[in-house]
Structure 1
């Protein structure tokens, strides 16, 4: 293998292709973060990535294909928020996760809009990506609270709560963050507590007293005094 003047081995064709793909994906995330799908041109993304227009189609097949990969990347980052070292009390952990969720969506307003309105119209793959992200967040929440996330009533009410959290987040972002983030987190914690109580109403054999109490305590803690 030839060694250039820098002393580093030259990249292989596969490595160069992977690097180009990564630049395109990063540029797509950046563009779709700040503008709706229909307002972003493939040429803009290619130019930002320093490559030719046709290379986008080589790697992703279409603008939609690139958009879906960008959504998957954002979903992956969003999922990371809910993977934490569980050495803190549940109330602290959940409050911290919701705070990071708000911050993430504030930094990615275009995807916050997609989260609520389904991306490209009613595109089923777009919806599937976000449904998986919501399910993952609810699974982590249940694990932190010591609940069985497969319980039908919990799946039902927490799924509804996830939609409510997304809508609150979007409206908050679009309002220019009119309320302090800590108070929004308080509201979301109480929304989740209500979802647990709703699940117990559907399934009287489900005991959520302790778990709901954790959420109410979290809302009355770090943020409740603001």
Structure 2
């Protein structure tokens, strides 16, 4: 392996970090390769070398976001009960999208326009369902009603967050977290499942700790 490979990897990662911060601040169409190069303190050619064009860099930013969003589902400090774990995940999801407002709104509204972006969005949604499966102790393939409810409940959090972002954060964050948490419980609580363990796990979430 060339001695320059780690350096190239570090430069690439640094460019993604700069671009991620810029795409979070401003809409995609208002950012140019020259802006990113200037912010990163590099020549245009280096960006083209690593990413071919702005879209290539943007997709890499979205891939990084997908990885970061997936990590938000891990238990945080003090989340020693499932209600606290769920509430923590809901809060982290909302805060992350707030801090990446333009990127988040762009990918949520891109449905059907770009297959590669759509696939990244789908991966994010699947990771949310995977989190709920762990939370509820679902083993094996869930029945259709539970599967749809899990996906729908996480989708509800996203939609509520997008509405909040598009209206200038016109609700206190704690209030939105409580509202989104309640929406997840309402959807999951509406499911009648024959799995006693899942039913008990949903019931445990109701007195949020």
Output the TM-score relative to the length of structure 2: 0.87
Spell out the pairing of 1:7-22 with structure 2 (5 A cutoff). Answer: 12-22=3-13
Match of 1:224 in 2: none
Match of 2:89 in 1: 97
SS of corresponding position for 1:217: coil
* 2:139 matches 1:166: no
Measured on the aligned residues, the alpha-carbon RMSD in Å equals: 2.3
Q: Distance in 1 between matches of 2:188 and 2:54?
A: 40
* 2:21 matches 1:30: yes
Match of 1:6 in 2: none
8 Å Cα contact 1:46-1:56 kept in structure 2: yes
1:112 counterpart (104, 108, 111): 104
Do the aligned partners of residues 173 and 149 (structure 1) sit closer, same or farther apart at CA in structure 2, a change above 3 Å counting? Answer: farther
8 Å Cα contact 2:108-2:121 kept in structure 1: no
SS of corresponding position for 1:106: helix
Spell out the pairing of 1:12-161 with structure 2 (5 A cutoff). Answer: 12-84=3-75, 88-118=80-110, 122-148=113-139, 150-151=141-142, 152-161=144-153
Q: Distance in 2 between matches of 1:149 and 1:56?
A: 44
Q: Structure 1: any 5+ residue segments left out of the alignment?
A: 1-10, 222-226
Q: Structure 2: any 5+ residue segments left out of the alignment?
A: none
Q: Distance in 2 between matches of 1:162 and 1:96?
A: 13
Match of 1:182 in 2: 174
**Aligned length, in residue pairs:** 205
Do the aligned partners of residues 111 and 155 (structure 1) sit closer, same or farther apart at CA in structure 2, a change above 3 Å counting? Answer: farther
